[in-house]
Amino acid sequence: MNEVVLITGASSGMGQATAERLNKHGYKVYAAARRTDRMADMQAQGIQTRYVDLTKDESMVKLVEDVIAEEGHIDVLINNAGYGSFGAVEDVPLADAKRQFEVNLFGMGRMTQLVLPYMRAQHSGKIVNVSSMGGKINEPLGSWYHSAKFAVEGLSDSMRLELKPFGIDVIIIEPGLIQTEWEGISAKSLLKTSGDTAYSKMAHQMANILNGGAPASKPEVIAKLTERAIEAKHPKTRYAGGMGAKPLIFLKWALPDKAFDALWMGVLKLQGNSNQDIAEKKAQKEI
Is residue 74 within 8 A of residue 58, CB to CB? The reply is no
CA 172, 174, 144, 39 torsion-angle sign? negative
| Annotation says 11 is catalytic | yes
- Give the sheet arrangement for strand 28-33, strand by strand: 48-51, 28-33, 4-8, 76-79, 125-130, 168-175, 238-241
Annotation says 145 is catalytic: yes
Long-range contacts of 56-65 (CB under 8 A, 24+ apart): 57/110, 60/107, 60/110, 60/111, 60/114, 61/114, 63/6, 63/32, 64/6, 64/111, 64/114, 64/115
Q: Please identify which of the residues 131, 143, 194, 274 carries the catalytic annotation.
A: 131
- CA-closest candidate to residue 191, choices 202, 204, 209: 204
Sign of the CA dihedral running 182, 150, 254, 229: negative
Catalytic option among 28, 126, 136, 149:
149
CA–CA gap between residue 219 and residue 77 (Å, rounded): 19
Q: Is 274 a catalytic residue?
A: no
Strands (DSSP E) along 1-151, which ranges?
4-8, 28-33, 48-51, 76-79, 125-130
Task: Give the dihedral of Cα atoms 121, 162, 236, 21; nearest 10 deg.
Answer: 40
Residues 27, 30, 118, 145: which is the catalytic one? 145
Active site residue 24: no
List helix spans (H) across 137-255. 143-163, 182-194, 200-208, 219-231, 245-254
Active site residues: 11, 131, 145, 149
